[in-house]
Amino acid sequence: MNFIKNKPLILITNDDGDTAKGIEVLTSIMMKLGDVIVMAPDGPRSAQSNALTVTHPIRFKKLEEKEGLVRYSCTGTPTDCIKLALNEVVDRKPDLLVAGVNHGSNAAVNIIYSGTMGAVLEGCENGILSIGFSLTDHSAHADFSYFEPFISQIANIALINGLPRGVCLNVNAPTGKINGIRIARQCDGQWTKEFAKRVDPVGRSYFWLTGAFENYEPEATDTDEWALANGFISVVPSKIDLTAHETIETLKNWEF
Amino acid sequence: MNFIKNKPLILITNDDGDTAKGIEVLTSIMMKLGDVIVMAPDGPRSAQSNALTVTHPIRFKKLEEKEGLVRYSCTGTPTDCIKLALNEVVDRKPDLLVAGVNHGSNAAVNIIYSGTMGAVLEGCENGILSIGFSLTDHSAHADFSYFEPFISQIANIALINGLPRGVCLNVNAPTGKINGIRIARQCDGQWTKEFAKRVDPVGRSYFWLTGAFENYEPEATDTDEWALANGFISVVPSKIDLTAHETIETLKNWEF
């Protein structure tokens, strides 16, 4: 790779696979900001969270190399993609990691299931400025055009300002026209009625994951779900330290 | 199921699979505290994080039913196990969810990769008192005997005191004799040298996940890694709200 040293080095992945429209859009945008390396799963890996491949080995292969862009596909999960890229491909730490654009929302609790956000948390864990971009439209042909200028703007401003170690961004956009950007917090809520039960030809039950999201705080105006429901992009600073620091003193009073 | 109504209902899973020694140990301990339902993966699902099965349906089957215990196995991930049990098996919300005992540490950043802790976060998201237990020994024949009385004690005290919504416990134990319990925070650190590269008989490279954990704060005495290194059980209150609340005001000053 002959990357110009003073351009930002940008690492890209997703969880919808290397041929998804969302990652093509994201790659085009990022090529205007820096030199790009894509390491994406070779097929859909939605809802893979931070899963790692441990029971069998993984591989990657180069798909394309041209001025300012090298693209690889990988047989593993999104988090495997980032680990492989950082350990086996890049010759210096990327200045920015972006994942997506995800076809579907990663707002609220979806962050803990999302393969896209898993890759972002992995970049963050590795000390890289990391941002996940998601559009609330699962369609393979989703229209990212309203979101595109905001993706470029958010990445640019993040490169200028940086983030504290251990903090990354979870950026979600509504479909259609966008009213602006809201800095938000992760909304509390829960998936319900999560399985469709069916019966196979020999009479055995099987279950497809499905469900509906219930917002536990629909009145709150500072959540990502509120922003999206009101036509705004939500930007949630998210972290890899899961410690409930505010509960530590309570636990110290438990009488073990 | 005919569970006595005033005994706690306890849901158990793990990520090492339904035949692992760790889940047998945990089931025995929990049967002394309440009525137990086990829904465990039908094989190893280590490092599955909060992964969900979305590209194909899943199934579960009853393995055993006796006084105070029903055991099921499931074809999905640990998080699938919890979702299936809550949506399709239990007739009331469990009073306690426990996962493990994991063969291997889930301290520090391991929490974000762990299938065991994925299941615990899932229980927590569903408003259930949830605790993950892990022993820092990957061996299939690990000796859980020093840990066992503490598991019982911690579960009991948690049942008495409860936890705030959105907070669960990540409990890790050192091998051998135990000096006591430390309430701790998640240690900062990182996995390095993460892949073993090999070449197959036709000359193509493949990569096995491996690596070594580097503790970024070896001097700090309030972390889970310090507790484990000093012979203590670490109890880390952990949460499903990943928002970096302390960074929200900073981001509001960014000039979008």
* Each residue's pLDDT tens digit, A209-249: 999 999 999 999 999 999 999 999 999 999 999 999 999 99
The strand pairing partners of B185, in sequence order, are B223
Instruction: Give B18-21's long-range contacts (Cβ < 8 A, gap of 24+).
Output: B18/B42, B18/B63, B18/B71, B18/B73, B20/B103, B20/B140, B21/B103, B21/B140, B21/B141, B21/B142, B21/B144
Residue A91 within any structural domain of the chain: yes
What is the distance between the alpha carbons of residues B228 and B233, in angstroms, rounded to a whole number?
Answer: 6
Residue A95 within any structural domain of the chain: yes
Residue of chain A with shortest Cα separation from B165: A188
Chain B CB contacts of A256 under 8 Å are 153-154, 157, 180-181
Residue A207 within any structural domain of the chain: no
Average pLDDT over residues B114-130: 98
Average pLDDT over residues B15-39: 98
Identify the three-state secondary structure at position A102: strand
Question: DSSP letter string over A216-251?
Answer: S-TT-SSBHHHHHHTTEEEEEEEES--B-GGGHHHH
Chain A CB contacts of B112 under 8 Å are 50, 118, 121, 125, 240, 242
Residues 88 through 147 of chain A touching chain B, CB cutoff 8 Å: 88, 109, 111-113, 115, 118, 121, 125-127
B199/A contact by beta carbon, under 8 A: no
pLDDT at B17: 97
A199/B contact by beta carbon, under 8 A: no
What is the distance between the alpha carbons of residues A116 and A23, in angstroms, rounded to a whole number?
Answer: 11
Chain B CB contacts of A185 under 8 Å are 241, 243, 245, 248
CATH number at residue B128: 3.40.1210.10
Least confident of A99-103, B2-6, B149-153: B2-6
Q: How far apart are the CA of A36 and the nearest CA of chain B, in angstroms?
A: 23
Chain B CB contacts of A181 under 8 Å are 256
Nearest 5°: phi and psi at B42?
Answer: -85, 15
Confidence of residue B6 (pLDDT cuts 50, 70, 90): confident
Q: Which residue has the tokens 């950026």?
A: A171
Mean pLDDT, all residues of chain A: 96
Residue A3 within any structural domain of the chain: no
Chain B CB contacts of A235 under 8 Å are 251
Nearest to A52 among B47, B54, B57 (CB): B47
Q: How far apart are the CA of B36 and the nearest CA of chain A, in angstroms?
A: 23
Residues 47 through 86 of chain B touching chain A, CB cutoff 8 Å: 47-55, 57-60, 77, 79-80, 83-84
Residue A151 has pLDDT above 60, yes or no: yes
Q: How far apart are the CA of B186 and the nearest CA of chain A, in angstroms?
A: 6
Residue B4 within any structural domain of the chain: no
Residue A253 has pLDDT above 70, yes or no: yes
Residue B2 has pLDDT above 80, yes or no: no
- Report DSSP state, residue A99: E
How many residue pairs bridge chain A and chain B with CB atoms within 8 Å of each other? 207
Element (H, E) at A68: none
Residue of chain A with shortest Cα separation from B153: A256
Residue of chain A with shortest Cα separation from B164: A247
Residues 214 through 243 of chain A touching chain B, CB cutoff 8 Å: 235-243
Average pLDDT over residues B44-53: 96
> For chain A, what is the domain count?
1
pLDDT at A5: 58
Residue B67 within any structural domain of the chain: yes
Q: Is A152 left (phi over 0), alpha (psi -120 to 50) or beta?
A: alpha
Confidence of residue B1 (pLDDT cuts 50, 70, 90): very low
Mutate to test the interface with A, among B45, B48, B52, B129 (most CBs of A within 10 A): B52
The strand pairing partners of A213, in sequence order, are A191
Residue A1 has pLDDT above 50, yes or no: no
Contacts of B124 (CB under 8 A, 6+ apart): B130, B166, B167, B168, B239, B240
Domain that holds residue A25: 9-187+220-252
Element (H, E) at A6: none
Residues written for chain A: 256
Across B94-140, the runs of DSSP E, i.e. the strands, are 96-103, 130-135
Q: What's the ipTM?
A: 0.95
Question: DSSP letter string over A18-52?
Answer: TT-HHHHHHHHHHHTTSEEEEEEESS--TT-TT--
Residue A84 within any structural domain of the chain: yes
Residue B4 has pLDDT above 70, yes or no: no
pLDDT at B5: 58
Chain B CB contacts of A248 under 8 Å are 183, 185, 237
B210/A contact by beta carbon, under 8 A: no
Chain B CB contacts of A170 under 8 Å are 242
Cβ(B144)–Cβ(B178) below 8 Å? no
pLDDT digits over B134-183, tens only?
A: 999 999 999 999 999 999 999 999 999 999 999 999 999 999 999 999 99
Residue B200 within any structural domain of the chain: no
